Amino acid sequence: MLAGCAYVPFRQPITQQPMTAVPPSPPVNTSPGSIYNPGYTGRPLFEDQRPRNVGDILTIVISENINATKSSGANTKRGGSTNLNVPTAGFAPGFFSRMNLSATGGNQFDATGGANASNTFTGVITVTVTNVLPNGNLVVSGEKQMLINQGNEFVRFSGVVNPNTVAGDNSVLSTDVADAKIEYSAKGVIDEAETMGWLQRFFLNLAPW
């Protein structure tokens, strides 16, 4: 009965919010019928169609491959000995003549450790320009949702893009994005089954072992 009260805790996304932005309204066309229309300043006739304004879209080619290896070791040894002989005193000679103190001690510590990590993430996601920085760099954010059977999967991406790194097909590699944050998560029965119940978490926090 208590297991039925278990819930999946809400996890804050790590990506930059919001996930999309609406472009600002174009200025009013005061010269209808003219060749130059200020309402289409974001789509110039003699320039490429790379994103440069809030609300423009950009394709991110996710190509992340990270490998890390770490190893460490330690070896220490320490030892000591003490010997104390007490000479015969003028009083209670029977006690001090038999007194002989000696002590020995030592400790040794050996430890080794290592860790290996390998992560690969590939995919394509189209994001939206949510802000334009004073230096011209673009803050982009976007997400993709896929509902497959009983699970809802999310792919979220955010970062800062230099317009000079955008290719002619309006795409940029994720390795060229600054402050890149990539998130892949899911919601559904499988995600709930992998989450510890609230009563288990309660006793886990109180358990001294």
Domain ranges of the chain: 57-65+120-209
Strand partners for 201: none
> If you average pLDDT over residues 156-175, what whole number do you get?
91
pLDDT for position 137: 94
pLDDT at 130 over 90: yes
pLDDT for position 172: 94
Question: DSSP class of residue 4?
Answer: G
pLDDT at 140 over 90: yes
CA separation for the pair 196, 209 (Å, rounded) = 18
Considering only residues 76 and 179, tell me which one the structure prediction assigns the higher pLDDT. Answer: 179
CA separation for the pair 132, 154 (Å, rounded) = 25
pLDDT at 1 over 50: no
pLDDT for position 152: 80
Q: Over pLDDT 70: what percentage of the chain?
A: 65
CA separation for the pair 142, 119 (Å, rounded) = 22
Considering only residues 75 and 61, tell me which one the structure prediction assigns the higher pLDDT. Answer: 61
DSSP 105-164: EEEEEEEEEEEEEEEEEEEEEEEEEEEE-TTS-EEEEEEEEEEETTEEEEEEEEEEE-GG
Q: Over pLDDT 90: what percentage of the chain?
A: 22
pLDDT for position 138: 94
Least confident of 28-32, 69-73, 153-157: 28-32
Average pLDDT, the chain: 76
pLDDT for position 149: 75
> If you average pLDDT over residues 174-182, what whole number do you get?
91
CA separation for the pair 118, 153 (Å, rounded) = 22
pLDDT for position 72: 78
Least confident of 29-38, 62-71, 86-95, 151-160: 86-95
